[in-house]
Copies of this chain bind each other. A is one copy, B any other.
Amino acid sequence: MIAKKKKSTTLNDIATAAGVTPMTVSRVVNQNGYVSDGTRDKVLQAIKEMKYRPNGLARSLKLRRTQTVGLVLGDIANPFAAELARAVREVTMLRGYNLFISVSEHSAKEDIAAFDSLAAHLVDGLIVATRSNRAGDKHLSEMIEHGFRVVCIGRDFHHENADWVSADNRKGGFEATQHLIDCGHTKIGFIGTNLSGGASLKRFQGYLDALKENNLEVEERFITGSPEASDEAPGYSTEKLGYEAMKRLLALPNRPTAIFARNDFTAIGAMSAIKEAGLRIPHDLAIVGFDDIPMAVHTSPSLTTVRQPTRRQGSIAAEFLLKRIEAAEQPEREEKVLECELIVRDSTVAAGK
């Protein structure tokens, strides 16, 4: 049995108390229309005494807008997501929109649940930063075609009525790999997907591109890690996957001398395995991660990684969305790809060199 909420005071109650009509109270509350000073005071007084707080639901229902935007995040524990949320929030707040964050731990079902619950609450628009999946994409398409405003960050989903922001993961992957090649490595492993399942993983594609461009052979046995696992598992636990993958690579005859990991957590897990095996980083094995999470500076040795412009992705996405929301007509689709930056630290180049 659900408790009935104590019936809260409404516009009507205030109106009665102040001896005016609800409409007048509404005008006072929203500070529009004409209200005489005397009436305003009376109403304000009643509002204070009766502790009235407007029912946003009713208001939104009437206005057909909520001044709220939704952000769907895959893994809230991932510093990347957190930073994104910060940036989005900064922009939306400034422009007078509330932000509701909904988390979907990377399953299609939860994705859809998150979309629907935000849509049901009629957020004015949605920023989606979860990974692509069939059912979720379809759902998104339908929502967009219904006039729902959507901006995607990083998600491999494209629609002519939705804007899109992403880091150039492919190029980032390329540069990470190229860096290892420049350091003299020729046997470079990849942790985080496998050859057949990595088609959609841009970072991995960049890795392949770099090998090809340098006429290095792609060795399937150097590529390990199930394609989904790293995404399904929440942030910090991908560390374990990195650890296990590295174990496999270490057991290989004629093993790689350098590793590119799909993200920093994976890389850090791999580092544990390397150290556990009594090998030195970067002398015996060099390693590059991706994302430049705050932890990357503090590992030992510090982790070379690819930094993506997280804040900018967030704020640009927010700008796109607000523009879309406030536009009279659905505007042209906007797309922005941002450059990544290779951050060289001690895990690829020995300190002091």
How many of chain A's residues touch chain B, expressed as a range?
35 or more
Number of copies: 2
Q: A334 to chain B: closest CB distance in Å? A: 16
- 1/0 contact string of A1-18 vs chain B (CB within 8 Å): 111111010000000000
- By secondary structure, the A interface counts as mixed
A98–B3 CA distance with the chains assembled, in angstroms? 18
* Complex interface: chain B residues within 8 A of A119 (CB): 53, 56
A16–B321 CA distance with the chains assembled, in angstroms? 34
Tell me which of A152-160, A188-196, A217-225, A324-332 binds B.
Answer: A324-332
A329–B101 CA distance with the chains assembled, in angstroms? 30
* Complex interface: chain B residues within 8 A of A308 (CB): none
Neighbour of A330 across the interface among B3, B53, B294, CB < 8 A: B3
**Would A83 and B77 count as touching, CB distance under 8 A?**
yes
A13–B60 CA distance with the chains assembled, in angstroms? 20
Q: A321 to chain B: closest CB distance in Å? A: 12
**Would A146 and B65 count as touching, CB distance under 8 A?**
no
**Would A120 and B294 count as touching, CB distance under 8 A?**
no
* Cβ of A99 under 8 Å from chain B: yes
Known contacts A6-B146, A117-B68: A236-B102 contact under CB 8 Å: no
* Cβ of A227 under 8 Å from chain B: no
| Contacts of A306-332 to chain B: CB distance below 8 A | 325-330
* Cβ of A21 under 8 Å from chain B: no
* Cβ of A54 under 8 Å from chain B: yes
Known: A8-B146, A56-B117, A77-B83. 12 other contacts (CB 8 A): A3-B325, A3-B327, A3-B329, A4-B64, A6-B146, A53-B146, A55-B61, A76-B82, A98-B117, A100-B100, A236-B294, A299-B300
Listed in ascending order, the chain A residues whose CB lies under 8 Å from chain B are: 1-6, 8, 51, 53-61, 64-66, 68, 76-77, 79, 82-83, 85-86, 89, 93, 98-103, 110, 113, 116-117, 119-122, 142, 145-147, 234, 236, 239, 268, 294-295, 298-300, 325-330
